[in-house]
Amino acid sequence: MPEVSLKDTIITSLNAQEPWPDNVKLFQPYEVEQILLPDNASCLAVQAFLKMCNLPFEVEMRWNAEFMSPSGRVPFIKCGAFVVSELEPIVHFAANKGVTLCSKLSTEERAEMRAYMSLITNVLVNAELYISWIDQETFNTVTRVRNSSVYPWPLGWLQTRSKRSSVIKRLKALHWHDKTLDQVLADVEQCCNSLSQRLGDRDYFFGTPTELDALVFGHVFTIITTRLPCRKLADTVRRHDTLVALAKRIDEHYFKRT
């Protein structure tokens, strides 16, 4: 889970007294032809959080959304004069307006929630990056095609090469690049086991929706609904019925697509 920067803290503090406007826009890549597995998961998580908070927003798809983002990552929202990217800063941004999903959680429960969110970032996000950029068949048939689809030749090839190099650098730093696919899937299995045990037979992790539920939804729903040549990641997640049921429940209630 990314740390909230000093800049984000100052922005949210200054913005605390302003009400949430009706014309907030959420910027993300094109869904049909461009967006990749990790970015789609992040975008869905933020959308779910905003819907859980009953905060109005409109999705704006841009081919260059990641370059427009202050952090270089998607999604980001434009709320009045402020631009805030990624789930955690957006959660803090909303909280400074008095909108929060975890007001009834104890200090211990909030710490536990953050720990599980960090687990998702450290495992599911890295697994999505691995499948998208390291697994050769997925990279050749899906990632390279989708990532370069919005650029003219040879810019698409150059941009994809640069982005893959950046992802590889990140995964090497985190000791994920040299893992085998089986090792990646074992980590995902362990992560899903931990989440499943915490969720138990509840509808939501802490009884009512929180940003943890939004984050789990974004990743689980994206993984199980995205068609990729390598199906092992989706198959691993699908074995965890309670997580799949949570994702479908949130999709039906807040997105009304199924």
pLDDT range class, residue 8, cuts 50, 70, 90: low
107-255: CATH topology is Glutathione S-transferase Yfyf (Class Pi); Chain A, domain 2 (1.20.1050)
How many angstroms separate the CA atoms of 207 and 113, rounded? 12
Query: Which of 95, 169, 93 has the alpha carbon at shortest distance from 134?
Result: 169
Answer whether 170's CB lies under 8 Å from 217's CB.
no
pLDDT tens digits, one per residue of 116-127? 999 999 999 999
Taking residue 180's Cβ as centre, other Cβ atoms within 10 Å add up to 8
How many angstroms separate the CA atoms of 140 and 95, rounded? 41
Give ranges for CATH 3.40.30 in the chain.
6-95
pLDDT of residue 256: 80
For residue 95, pLDDT over 60 is answered with yes
Mutual angle of helices 87-95 and 37-52, in 10-degree steps: 10
pLDDT tens digits, one per residue of 154-200? 999 999 999 999 999 999 999 999 999 999 999 999 999 999 999 99
6-95: CATH topology is Glutaredoxin (3.40.30)
Query: Whole-model pTM above 0.95?
Result: no
In this prediction, residues 139-153 reach a mean pLDDT of 96
SS3 153: coil
Give ranges for CATH 1.20.1050 in the chain.
107-255
Q: What is the CB-side half-sphere exposure of residue 73 using CA atoms within 13 A? A: 19
